[in-house]
Amino acid sequence: MEANNYEKIVELYNTLGGGEELLKVFYTNDYPIPFKSLKIYPVQMDLYFYFQVFSQCLLEPHKTSGDIKAISMSYLRYLCYLGADKQRPEILVFLSELISMVFKIPKFVKNDKGEKTYNIDINFDEAIIRVGEETIDEKEFDTFRKIVLEQNAIEPPDESLNPELVKAYKELEQFKQKQSNIKMCDIEGQIDIVIAQTSYRKDEILKMTIRTFSHLFERLLMITNYEIQSLLTPYMEKKDQKSITHYLADNHRTLKERIEKESMDESSLRKIVEGQ
């Protein structure tokens, strides 16, 4: 990264007290984002599988979990509740590993006697995280969570949606894939596609951030689909030609927007799935 440009952005970000538009500059350029005295780093592709496991702690159903106690809790307190009271210690292990990964801070340090001491500590009772000399409270954790998800191209759970409707929609998507006999490729297959379609080598892709790779792969698919549809245009009806989306268009849709596009409620989705 250009040190001077980064320092200018950080100075402006700190002066203005943050802001979504400035955060976009950090996201787009894969810059680490200032967070108190720390920096949140975007995760690279070589750590993709670890991140997919550890980031589960940021995607737990919270207000829609069905647990009455959870409704009044902050997200961080809910994680502490899951880890301690609900006997799910893996949640807090994932959180500790994730914090170490995105802050690039070791979980343990040695004291003057050469003994290992915790460098990342989660206080269950107070719902506070200590990272080095810094502490992260419940409100600050909400900001941290939002940044990490956006920085790594993960859509945060939309808890305004009916969980049963979301479940029905996902079942419909699985049904459509089953009917088309198409099995979507995994991340290794996606990497192979990018290598085949571009001049990038595998070692270069593994040094990309997850966000950059995700956006690159998505745009490559849009370009390919547009080129294929353009070739078929002379053989398509006019109403079908209008449905062709140019690859420069913003084609990203949230889960809520995708469900709304189906223009169906839960019962309609269920009927389609159950009809299989």
With bands split at pLDDT 50, 70 and 90, how would you rate the model's confidence at 197? very high
The number of helices, as runs of H, and strands, as runs of E, in the chain is: 13, 7
> Residue 73: pLDDT above 70?
yes
Q: Which of 28-32, 150-154, 160-164, 255-259 has the lowest mean pLDDT?
A: 255-259
pLDDT at 204: 98
What's the CA angle centered on 193, arms 197 and 251, to 5 degrees? 85
For residues 102 and 47, the answer to whether their CB atoms sit within 8 Å is: no
As given in the structure block, the two tokens for residue 194 are 């990018």
97 CB neighbour count, 10 Å cutoff:
18
Q: Determine the average pLDDT of the residues in 124-138.
A: 94
DSSP letters, 61-95, are --TTSS-GGGGGS-HHHHHHHHHHTTS-HHHHHHH
- Provide the 3-class DSSP secondary structure of residue 47: helix
Q: Determine the average pLDDT of the residues in 197-214.
A: 96
> Residue 69: pLDDT above 80?
yes
> Residue 68: pLDDT above 90?
no
The total number of residues written for the chain in this structure: 276
Chain segment 215-269, per-residue pLDDT in tens: 999 989 888 877 777 766 766 666 565 565 655 566 666 666 666 666 555 555 5
Is residue 260 within a helix (H) or strand (E), and if so which, with residue range?
helix 255-262
Mean pLDDT of the chain: 83
Q: Determine the average pLDDT of the residues in 122-149.
A: 95
The model carries a pTM of 0.81
In angstroms, the Cα distances linking 30 to 7, 27, 191 are 14, 5, 19
| Bridging pattern class, strands 116-118 and 33-35 | unpaired
Could you tell me the residue ranges of all domains in the chain? 1-31, 43-151, 163-274
> Residue 152: pLDDT above 60?
yes
Taking the C-alpha atoms of residue 178 and residue 164, their distance in angstroms, rounded to an integer, is 21
pLDDT at 181: 62
For residues 272 and 262, the answer to whether their CB atoms sit within 8 Å is: no
As given in the structure block, the two tokens for residue 85 are 């009271």
DSSP letters, 154-223, are -PPP-TTS-HHHHHHHHHHHHHHHHHHT-----HHHHHHHHHHHSS--HHHHHHSBHHHHHHHHHHHHHH
**How far is Cα of residue 106 from the mean position of the Cα atoms in its chain?**
23
For residues 212 and 30, the answer to whether their CB atoms sit within 8 Å is: yes
With bands split at pLDDT 50, 70 and 90, how would you rate the model's confidence at 27? very high
With bands split at pLDDT 50, 70 and 90, how would you rate the model's confidence at 18? confident
> Residue 47: pLDDT above 70?
yes
pLDDT at 258: 65
pLDDT at 212: 97
> Radius of gyration of the chain from Cα atoms?
22
| Bridging pattern class, strands 108-110 and 116-118 | antiparallel
Chain segment 168-187, per-residue pLDDT in tens: 767 766 666 666 666 678 99
Q: Determine the average pLDDT of the residues in 116-134.
A: 90
Is residue 29 within a helix (H) or strand (E), and if so which, with residue range?
helix 20-29
